[in-house]
Amino acid sequence: VLVVANPANTNALILKEFAPSIPEKNISCLTRLDHNRALGQISERLKVQVSDVKNVIIWGNHSSTQYPDVNHATVNTPAGEKPVRELVSDDAWLNGEFISTVQQRGAAIIKARKLSSALSAASAACDHIRDWVLGTPQGTFVSMGVYSDGSYNVPAGLIYSFPVTTANG
């Protein structure tokens, strides 16, 4: 089950609590929208294709409290894979404007369009399900809100966005 409706993390946790017959490993929530937005910000900044950027992490909730993290992100360049931090070479932007832009992107779209970013969410849901079912490419992780087992010092029992790799559904 992929929970998209906001607040996505909370709704996924409510689903887990009130539908105990669904195994917790079969419930996730959409933070791929935020993940895709972060990839887009990096690709725009570096003037590269989005498909050349990988391993951005969205930590936390699908909300303005999330933490977009590029510390493991890389870009495919003609000279091979390079760290995003090295290529951007602007920690002030990465630690400031980049984070706030990703955190606030949904609100900015609603303010500008007077409508939600429904098509972006639908595309992100497709990306999420594709990777969940078909697996993530070797060496690539994506962001998914999943049930915490206590990894990364995130309390067990929360639905939280982590870096995730998937295989065989």
Task: Provide the residue type at 44 as one letter.
Answer: E
Tell me, yes or no, whether 169 lies in a domain: no
41 lies in which domain range?
A: 2-164
Per-residue pLDDT of the chain (169 residues; tens, 9 = 90+): 999 988 999 999 999 999 999 999 999 999 999 999 999 999 999 999 999 999 999 999 888 889 999 999 999 999 999 999 999 999 999 999 999 999 875 555 545 545 555 568 899 999 999 999 999 999 999 999 999 999 999 999 999 999 999 998 8
62: annotated active-site residue? yes
Q: Which of 103, 106, 12, 8 is nearest to 65 (CA)?
A: 103
Q: Which residues contact 72 (CB under 8 A, 6 or more apart)?
A: 55, 57, 163
Q: Which of 30, 2, 11, 52 is nearest to 124 (CA)?
A: 30
Confidence (pTM): 0.89
- The pLDDT assigned to 62 comes to 84
- Give the Cα separation of 164 and 33 in Å (integer): 15
CA 143 vs. chain centroid, Å, equals 4
- Give the Cα separation of 16 and 1 in Å (integer): 10
How many domains are there within the chain?
1
Terminal-residue alpha carbon distance, the chain: 12
Tell me, yes or no, whether 128 lies in a domain: yes
Tell me, yes or no, whether 45 lies in a domain: yes
CATH number of the domain where residue 100 is located: 3.90.110.10
- The pLDDT assigned to 106 comes to 55
Tell me, yes or no, whether 31 lies in a domain: yes
Tell me, yes or no, whether 131 lies in a domain: yes
- The pLDDT assigned to 53 comes to 98
Tell me, yes or no, whether 65 lies in a domain: yes
Catalytic residue among 35, 62, 72, 128: 62
Tell me, yes or no, whether 101 lies in a domain: yes
Q: Are 160 and 61 in contact (CB under 8 A)?
A: yes
